[in-house]
Chains A and B, each alone.
Chain A
């Protein structure tokens, strides 16, 4: 398609729910594009060639981004056709686009080096991806594409067990099912989805969307066993007797705590506990739902990553005054730009260069304040390029009746205690094919990375599926020979 394009500098904005409405509810903040708006944004894309396009290079799963965007323009007179073609391009690399379109840090990945950025706004790739997925789901186009795909699957007669129904496991399961393997996912919680269900809030990623993405996997024949805690209900050793290969996608579920006096006072949550209560158990609908969550009037969230923003914005929706306390400066905030912007719009305060040293409680063991040491940044930088920080010896105490600790997570402990599984600093060690020290057992996502993003976990899920396919193909051929 050698169409000469004119430069349109400004991004087509996506409508958002007004601030005063959203701080009172958990409904999704960003409303996404309509077809007309999506086409308008798609037209801005310069259509860089495949082997050059910086967006494809920046995407951890290498979606042909100009390819799917061009379909929206090419078939602009037939929205259903346009979306079906675009979805087909995305699905070649990513089976959960409704999710990634919402939660990927696009500004650090596909959109980072967008050529349009040199003359105007970068293309809004995330929102276009989300549009394709949403429109396809709402119009049954994803099912249509799925049902066209299913009869073409050739059964391989081999089976794979997947541990964890989070982004890595779901992706691996989808890819392996498409390749014709019998796939069973073992999930500890009562719902599949992992962090997409328990961690990321409804207002950022509606749960019915996640459920529908998971339904597609079930239609592909993937079996999901909830309530099965690998390490307790069944061991990896036992899985290997029943299945031809195993993939560990058990994530980073163990919360990091702050080693400071008073950490176990009432009113102090890990972000995991707070978000699990709110998202998975739907505590924002208490007492209609049985699980409560206590949110006071003054909430301090410690940390400045995506999880911290999710916790802060959730607490805000309970009517609390919320402060994010970060030991570094604004430049080092690691959350997605959109989340930080939304948090600020919603009235969340940011306090920089303060590090908690003590949690102060009342006579009932309930937190009432947090004592912080003031920090300062040095010119010297650490291995991650962040300025080093040191304590100043000066302290400040902030009142708080609720504290949420969002300073990161470690991989789940139950799995890493498997005999024979090589683990370093809590992370499962894998080779270049994502195989662990146990033959036939592969791993990916936060279980090997510590704590990363949904899309990196999904990228691992895809790579592992490919490696498992190669491993099982050899095994099959070995048996036939």
Chain B
């Protein structure tokens, strides 16, 4: 079932925003839930999180971080008016909506997208929400939206250095996140910490939070295929038990997560993902050569 792209734009470096007509999702989606998008006939199914939606008009908004073949192809080839083949959902459980008190909600790079609807809803419920976005400076997104939605929005940005690869960017990300979180936990009292982002960064943040004994929730992003509880690709160990992030999550108690296992499992397909991307880039080059 195709879904029309109503609007699309690049909102920061490698960050592309889409508004898509998907009334069945818009009608039902709750903060914390996600969708599966399949954009092309030969495409994979990728999980993405709606940031905003309109139940009446039937649209949802998504942001992709251009990182692999699918997100790059979407960025290159899709334009407003085009259709996306599949948008399935909403999937996963809504985030727990109750009064926690003072909340620190952290998003690493594009993970911030997923923080938005949850943080906004928590604030609306009467929580005092501080959001922290740790990201390279050219990838700052949704700043105004956050400033409007929550008590306080902090951007911990850093400049990319010439010659940095993904590894250096990630190392700096973790370093910055850990330092900033320490500073915030040291200077203020918190009732809940919430994170979304790469598993390595989440683990590093958890190690800080644990020292302060503050409750912590984490939205996990293991590899998913069907995301309806059928395949078990997304299995994670929570308190010694095997859970499926797609139907039992994506939010879990950070104290119970087997972080090292999650990090291993998330990285398993990296070599094949790279191969897919390189093959696609070669095709683009060949096409460019013909023109």
Chain A residues close to B by CB (< 8 Å): 188-190, 198, 225-229, 232-234, 253-255, 257, 263-264, 266-267, 269-270, 272-273, 276-277, 281-282, 285-292, 294, 364-366, 412-414
Nearest-neighbour CB distance to chain A for B24, whole angstroms, equals: 5
Q: Is the CB of B228 within 8 A of A189?
A: yes
Q: Whose C-beta in chain B lies nearest to the C-beta of A254?
A: B229
Question: Which of B97-105, B127-135, B163-171, B265-273 contacts its partner?
Answer: B265-273
Nearest chain B CB to A192 CB, angstrom units: 11
Task: Say whether A264 contacts B242, CB under 8 Å.
Answer: yes
Task: Please give the distance in Å from A10's CB to the nearest CB on chain B.
Answer: 43
Contacts of B286 in A (CB 8 A): none
- Complexed CA–CA distance, A329 and B237 (Å): 33
Q: Does B160 contact A (CB under 8 A)?
A: no
CA distance A190 to B89 in the complex (A): 11
Contacting pair B242 A266 (CB below 8 A) = no
Determine whether the beta carbon of A229 is less than 8 Å from that of B1. no
Closest beta carbon of chain A to B69's beta carbon, Å = 6
Interface string of B1-35 (1 = CB under 8 A from A): 10000000000000000000000110010000100
Specify which chain A residues have a CB less than 8 angstroms from the CB of B275 in the assembled complex: 287, 292
Q: Which of A227, A276, A286, A287 contacts B24 (CB 8 A)?
A: A227
Asked if B214 is at the interface of the complex by the 8 Å CB criterion, the answer is no
CB of B229 within 8 A of CB of A281, answer no
Whole-angstrom CA separation of A50 from B273 in the bound complex? 58
Query: Please, how many angstroms separate the alpha-carbon atoms of A189 and B42 in the complex?
Result: 15
Report yes or no: A257 in contact with B242, Cβ–Cβ below 8 A: yes
List, in ascending order, chain A residues with CB within 8 A of B28's CB.
232-234
A233 interface neighbour in B43, B89, B260, B265, Cβ under 8 Å: B89
**B88 lies within 8 A of chain A by Cβ:** yes
Indicate whether A229 sits within 8 Å of B44 (C-beta atoms), given known contacts A234-B28, A266-B265, A286-B272.
no
Contacts of B204 in A (CB 8 A): none
Interface string of B205-243 (1 = CB under 8 A from A): 000000000000000000001101111110111000010
Q: How far is the CB of A230 from chain B (nearest CB, A)?
A: 10
Interface: B118 (CB within 8 A): no
Among B255-279, those with CB < 8 Å from A are 258, 260-261, 264-265, 268-269, 272-273, 275-276, 279
Answer whether A282 and B230 are a contact pair too, CB < 8 Å, given A190-B88, A227-B89: no
Q: Does B125 contact A (CB under 8 A)?
A: no
28 interchain pairs (CB within 8 A)? A188-B226, A198-B226, A226-B1, A227-B36, A229-B91, A229-B228, A232-B33, A232-B91, A234-B24, A234-B28, A253-B228, A263-B242, A264-B235, A264-B265, A270-B231, A273-B233, A281-B45, A285-B42, A289-B44, A290-B44, A290-B69, A290-B276, A291-B225, A292-B269, A292-B276, A364-B264, A365-B261, A413-B229
User: B229 and A273: CB pair below 8 A?
Assistant: no
Contact B269 A294 (CB under 8 A): yes
Judged by a CB distance under 8 angstroms, whether B79 is at the interface is no
B38 in contact (CB, < 8 A): yes
Chain A residues, Cβ within 8 Å of B276:
286-287, 290, 292
Bound form: Cα–Cα A364–B270 in Å: 13
Q: Are A254 and B42 in contact (CB under 8 A)?
A: no
The reply on B201 being an interface residue by CB < 8 A is no
The 3 closest A-B pairs by CB, nearest first: A365-B264, A292-B272, A273-B231
